[in-house]
Amino acid sequence: MSPTAGSERLRAIIIGCGAIAGGYDEADPGSEQVLTHAKAYRRHPGFEIAACVEPDAARRAAFMAHWGIPAGFAALAEVNVPYDVASVCVPTRCHAETLEALLPGPARLVFAEKPLTDDVARSRAVVEAYERAGKPLAVNYLRRWAGGLVHLQGEIARGQWGAFQKASAWYTKGLLNNGSHFLDLLSFLLGGLSPVCALGIVADGRLDDPTRDVVVKTAEGAPIHLLGADMTAFSLFEADLLFSGGRISLTDSAFRIIRRPVTDSPRFAGYRALAEGATKDSGLGYAMLDAVDNIARHLNDGTPLRSTGRTALAAQELCAFLSSLPETHP
């Protein structure tokens, strides 16, 4: 992981100085994992952080001190230093206005947290505007960058696991907020998805973004059941994917992958069963570093982005359609 030969370091600004901007890594400074924008830029030899933007003066000062950032501003309009990449880490309700303000600005690429905005029509308009302007837009559906999940996608694409049959997945904290992560990840692993039906709603108090049980399907018609759970009890993000050649489980928020290929049953002659399987790290703890590396390579040599405004929009449009469906009861 190094800058392209002869290239200068890319200058990044971070807009919003909360948890995903740097707070998760600040809380555990001894960890080797890279969970935030600030730590990813600091670790990557091809980047430097030119400035941050945060209206809370105390938080801004603490963020600058922790990450060694030379300039800080209360608002994006005040930024007076050059930059190549802008990370959008503000609350979702502020995404649209921030993305719109960055469009005519100096950033060569914008790296936005998900979802793009809190309104699908406005997200569509933002994506189309960035495409017209020729300005790349990367969106942090970070599992698309995790090395182990990228490797798994290749295994599935090569037919190593046989035909996909069906899947079940569990999530918490809103269909758009967290469910979209699964819809995007499963689209990455299995190809485009389309809606089937919406089932019940979890009583977790999320009136603005309900946690819904939904069913989607692959292009070949294989069903995927996305099931919501109550976030007030615990957080959950896990899945089981069944193929003709075995079972793949994503556990611990997809930080771990369990592969169980089909084998001969050790007990019953003539039967096939799942092997004990092995658990491997998915690389998700370093996906933010992989993301900024992908961004650097995109700007330096045209390497395609793994997660774009267009792929993020597809996940949000699917969420919006599922949210609009009436509940189907057995």
Structural domain spans, the chain: 10-142+287-306, 147-282
Model confidence pLDDT, tens digit, residues 98-123: 999 999 999 999 999 999 999 999 99
Domain at 147-282, CATH from 3.90.1150.10, 3.40.50.720, 3.30.360.10, 3.90.550.10: 3.30.360.10
Instruction: Please state the rounded mean pLDDT for residues 224-244.
Output: 96
> To the nearest 10°, the Cα dihedral for 238, 242, 248, 253?
-10
What residue ranges in the chain does DSSP mark as E strands?
10-15, 47-53, 72-73, 85-88, 109-112, 137-139, 164-172, 193-201, 212-218, 223-229, 237-243, 246-251, 256-264, 272-274, 278-281
Q: Which amino acid is located at 49 in the chain?
A: I
Average pLDDT of every residue of the chain: 95
What pLDDT, in 10s, does the model give residues 61-92? Answer: 999 999 999 999 999 999 999 999 999 999 99
Instruction: Give the whole-angstrom CA distance, residue 89 versus residue 145.
Output: 18
CATH number of 10-142+287-306: 3.40.50.720
Calpha distance 308→188 (Å, rounded): 12
Angle at 291 between CA 307 and CA 177, to 5 degrees: 55
CA distances from 134 to 70, 126, 302 (A): 30, 12, 13
In this prediction, residue 7 carries a pLDDT of 66
Helix boundaries (H) for the chain: 24-26, 37-43, 57-67, 95-102, 120-133, 147-157, 180-190, 287-301, 309-324
